[in-house]
Amino acid sequence: MTTHQPRRAIVAATEGGIISRSEISDSQIVLPLRVAAIGGGDLPDTPLISDYAKTDEERQIFKVALARQVMAWPFAAPPGTPVERVAALRRAFDETLRDREYLAEAERLNLEITPVSGEHIQSLIADIYQTTSAEISAKIGAMLK
């Protein structure tokens, strides 16, 4: 008598990778979780890795580790930049990300544009600095070595 062993596979899905979005949306492939800071988007039914956190410490570690995804490539101005200048830079950036020609060029180049407001990034950074203890910082540092 042979016993059936369940097959286990780990599939790495990357942008433009081997799995098509239609395969996921047609439920041909079910993703067990998303390593992302924010849910929704094109995979609204896939749980976030942070959904599996059991303690506040684990949730904080995921929040800090995944904050980079939210920010991607932020633009920053030096400390002491006048408030009016920051507002003008943010307004120009936001207008660019709504510009039809810019968005058409990004689509032609198959670039994903997912803007995050400067206010949100500033709030996220402030929150991380205010809520991350030295112990959690040390644990994250050890994980990244």
Check if the beta carbon of residue 56 is closer than 8 Å to that of residue 71: no
Which tens digits make up the pLDDT trace of 23-47? 555 666 666 777 777 776 667 777 8
Name the DSSP class of 72.
S
Bigger pLDDT: 132 vs 9: 132
Range of the domain at 129: 54-144
Residue 58 lies in a domain: yes
Structure tokens at 79: 């400390």
Residue 7 lies in a domain: no
The pLDDT mean for the chain works out to: 79
Which tens digits make up the pLDDT trace of 96-122? 999 999 999 999 998 888 888 889 889
Bigger pLDDT: 20 vs 75: 75
Query: How many domains does the chain divide into?
Result: 1
For residue 48, the SS3 value is strand
Helices (H), ranges, the chain: 21-25, 56-71, 83-96, 100-108, 118-131, 134-144
Residue 36 lies in a domain: no
